[in-house]
Copies of this chain bind each other. A is one copy, B any other.
Amino acid sequence: MAKAADRAKNPARSSVWLETNKRSRAARGGSGPAGLDRDRIVVTSIRMLDEEGLAKLSMRRLATELNVTAMSLYWYVDTKDDIIEYALDSCYGEVDLAAVLAADGWRERVRVLALEYRRMLVRHPWMSAVAGQYLNVGPHAIAVGGEIHKAIRDSGLPVSRTPSATSAVFQFVYGYGTIEGQFSRVAQQAGMSQDDFYTDSIAAFREEDQFTGTLEEMSEVLDERLSHGSVDEIWDRDFDYALDVLIAGIEVMVERGRAEAAAERGAQG
């Protein structure tokens, strides 16, 4: 049941989290003679993905890491995609929702959620490339999505506008976490600190005469940045400021919405 071939026929419901595809056996619980179970598979996958990246994860290499043959894995999952979907949701579980609940007011809740989300993406740089390809409807992803929705809703925006505002905030966080994660991963691969990597990259671009036209414009910006701190500090500072922009924008739109609603009531009464 729920073979890879079947899965492809119904993309709308194509997720390990939906009944149509879920397999009954081996879902969880005790491990077999080889000490294998789905949890161990997922945990090991995440470690390998963090260390070596998406491209290097194969069923055979994963199996070797677990002291088992590749075919054993297929007792616990239907496809390699399933493993990645489980890994994805497991990472969403790292978002500290207790810290969100402890935060005071929607602004602070949005900030905490954004920071937790960003940090998760940076810890697992393979996530961003993959998240868009799945429905992201695992229990942890749904829980995070629910908190995001509630935080934005509490701003006072009309219900019809919360999805849009949510999207503005968290698509930004997603994109920001993606490039930050990419940057730190590539720097690490090059065996450099982020600071060295930054200055080295800029130097490389300046050597290219093809960039002298357009990059000149941004040159003063690039120079200005490192004078204000390390690359790590710049990531934080830029992130905080962008959240300032977004929160200020939401505040304005809340006010506009209230003014419009009042005008409507005035016209009616």
- Spell out A's residues near B (CB within 8 Å): 10-13, 17-19, 128-130, 132-133, 137, 139, 142-143, 145-146, 149-150, 159-165, 167-168, 170-176, 178-179, 182, 186-187, 189-190, 192, 197, 200-201, 204-205, 207-208, 210-211, 214-215, 217-218, 220-221, 224-225, 228, 237-239, 241-242, 244-253
Contacts and interface: CB of A to CB of B under 8 A. Distances in A.
A246 to B, nearest CB: 6
B190 A245 contact: no
26 contacts: A12-B187, A12-B190, A12-B192, A12-B197, A12-B201, A19-B208, A132-B182, A137-B205, A137-B211, A143-B214, A146-B214, A159-B224, A160-B221, A163-B221, A163-B225, A167-B238, A167-B242, A168-B172, A171-B172, A171-B176, A172-B172, A175-B175, A241-B253, A248-B252, A249-B249, A252-B252
Contacts of A159: 220-221, 224
A168 B245 contact: yes
Contacts of A211: 137, 142
Given A163-B238, A238-B164, A248-B248, A175 B171 contact: yes
A245 B164 contact: yes
A58 B168 CA distance: 35
- Among A175, A205, A246, A248, which residue has the most Cβ atoms of chain B within 10 A? A175
Nearest to A13: B204
A18 B245 contact: no
Nearest to A170: B175
Contact of A248 (B139, B164, B218, B253): B253
Given A164-B237, A171-B176, 7 more contacts: A11-B190, A12-B187, A18-B208, A129-B132, A165-B242, A167-B175, A171-B171
